[in-house]
Amino acid sequence: MRTVNVGLIGLGTVGSGVVEIFDRHAADFRTRAGVDIAITRFADRNADRAEGLGLPEGAFTTDAAEIIADPEVDIVVELIGGTGVARGIVLDALAAGKSVVTANKALMATHGQEVMDAAAAHGVDIAFEASVGGGIPIISPLKHCLVSNEITTVMGIVNGTTNYMLTRMAQNGLDYETALAEAQAKGFAEADPTADVDGHDAAAKIAILASIAFNSRVSIGDVPVEGIRSLSPGDIAYATEMGYAIKLLAIAHRTDEGIDIRVHPTMIPVAHPLASVNGVYNAIYVIGDAVGETMFFGEGAGSLPAASAVVGDVIEVARHITRGCLGLVGCTCNEELPVRDIGQLESSYYVRLHIVDEPGVLAAVAKVFGDHGVSLASVIQKTDEAPTAEIVYVTHRATERAVRAAIDQISVMPIVESVGTMLRVEEL
């Protein structure tokens, strides 16, 4: 049995998890998966990271280019992240005839087509299961098990940081700032939480999932995104009262007018399978025309879960190398579906306002919705601190364009103190 040699670039959180899994199970890969795999080269710009990992003498370098130039290396594992240096490393490795395994969501969501084309051109594999949902198998199930379906929906909770925060806000009444501070203290959120709380991380992941599910390339720039900063415990309390959970959902639907894709805090019925996914867990919910509803649940981040997916990909690529069938499944984006403008979205909307508490105000605001063709399903008024009151409107199905136009007009009415949260409702 020939040994498949792996060069591992990036020894951070996920990289050290990959080293740990190989330490535990490399012998099992031989018996269980029929492949002999060894990590022979390691690179990181920070030499300190090699300390303590027990790497073989001389296997470490601070220069990733050395690994790409090494003729003995069959598979390059890129765990640097980002679209700068990492892009060059991945493209160079592919050009050198090496297969690549990456956890890099930003790269795949931004330069996915370029990377897939390069892999195809050089007859090698590119695998990126870890780029979405940490250790949860989702890319492979979409490309293999569910390939006989026309997928109509792929949506999910794909950011553990914000799901942890929203869970704490819902279950324990924490406000946004307190939930964030706690997530940071527990290591679930970065010092700069922007990528998580503003939804950019989720946007990259849904772009990747939609591209595979709908066989049509979607890039991160195509994804309208709203984060969770403006959510208040009050919004969550209203949602609970109405039988909904609020989750930061990454949503993609195949529609007759193109791909409807977006990331935003969303009200979903408590009976929806995604509604009970709490804490740092992730879950991706998929509807196919044959399979019906499915959901894939697990830990969406962390060293070992993400490394589980990376090493799963490495073993799969190694199988292909030993059997001479690299490139078995390449890019599957053979359609060119348009991405629908979010203004065309039809949904129910939840809108929370602070208004001056005087007679006729409620009717005046309702009239603006009506003028824009938006009919109201319910209104809840709670007196805040006089002289203002908080009002929550829930609309019947209306277009985003109409609702936004109504809100724009409402927000400049003298009787309106402020427009708080606007949430879309995703029904079962």
- Per CB under 8 A, the segment of 1-9, 59-67, 193-201, 320-328 that binds a second copy is 320-328
The Cα–Cα gap between 65 and 104 comes to 18
Among 10, 17, 81, 160, binds a second copy (CB under 8 A): 17
3-state secondary structure of 124: coil
Task: Select 228 or 284, whichever has its Cβ closest to a second copy.
Answer: 284
Among 160, 199, 265, 298, binds a second copy (CB under 8 A): 298
Beta strands (DSSP E) in 300-415 are 346-356, 376-383, 388-395, 398-399
Give the Cα separation of 405 and 79 in Å (integer). 44
Whose tokens are 């765990």? That residue is 79
Q: Among 119, 202, 307, 339, which residue interacts with a second copy (rule: CB under 8 A)?
A: 307
Which are the catalytic amino acids? 205
Residue 201, CB-side half-sphere exposure with 13 Å CA sphere = 27
Can you list the positions of beta strands (E) in 35-170? 36-43, 60-61, 75-78, 99-102, 126-127, 151-157
**Closer residue to a second copy (CB): 138 or 407:** 138
The residue count of the chain comes to: 428
Q: Of 46-54, 108-116, 318-326, 350-358, which segment contacts a second copy by CB under 8 A?
A: 318-326
Burial of 186 (0-12, 13-18, 19+ CB in 10 A): exposed
Query: Is residue 112 a contact residue for a second copy (CB under 8 A)?
Result: no
Whether 301 contacts 281, CB under 8 Å: no
The nearer residue to a second copy, 21 or 374, going by C-beta atoms, is 21
In this structure, are residues 366 and 408 in contact, taking their beta carbons and an 8 Å threshold? no
Task: Tell me how far, at minimum, the Cβ of 124 lies from a second copy, in Å.
Answer: 14
Q: Which of 63, 66, 150, 341 binds a second copy (CB under 8 A)?
A: 150
For residue 367, give both structure tokens.
């009239």
Binders of a second copy among 229-288, rule CB under 8 A? Answer: 273, 276, 281, 288
By beta-carbon proximity to a second copy, the closer residue of 137 and 258 is 137
By CB under 8 A, name the one of 38, 55, 291, 413 that touches a second copy.
291
CA atoms within 13 A of residue 171's CA, in its CB half-sphere: 12
Residues in 31-90 that interact with a second copy by CB under 8 A: 31-34
Out of 78, 196, 316, 390, point to the residue binding a second copy (CB under 8 A): 316
* Closer Cβ to a second copy, 184 or 294, answer by number: 294
Closer to a second copy by Cβ: residue 304 or 392: 304
- Give me the amino acid identity at 404: R
Q: How many residues bind a second copy (CB under 8 A)?
A: 61
To the nearest whole angstrom, how small is the minimum distance from the Cβ of residue 297 to a second copy? 4
Query: What CA–CA distance (Å, rounded) separates 14 from 171?
Result: 30
Nearest-approach distance from CB 139 to a second copy, in angstroms: 9
Helix (H, G, I), strand (E, B) or coil at 427: coil
* Footprint of a second copy on 119-148 (CB under 8 A): 129, 135-137, 140-141, 144-148
Q: Binding a second copy by CB under 8 A: which of 201, 299, 357, 426?
A: 299
Whole-angstrom distance, CA of residue 53 vs CA of residue 15 = 10
350-384 as b/e, with b when 16 or more CB fall inside 10 Å?
A: bbbbbbebeeebbeebbebbeebebebeeeeeeee
Binding site for a second copy (CB under 8 A): 17, 21, 24-25, 28-29, 31-34, 129, 135-137, 140-141, 144-150, 215, 273, 276, 281, 288-299, 302, 304-305, 307-309, 311-312, 314-316, 319-320, 323-325, 328-330, 332, 334-335
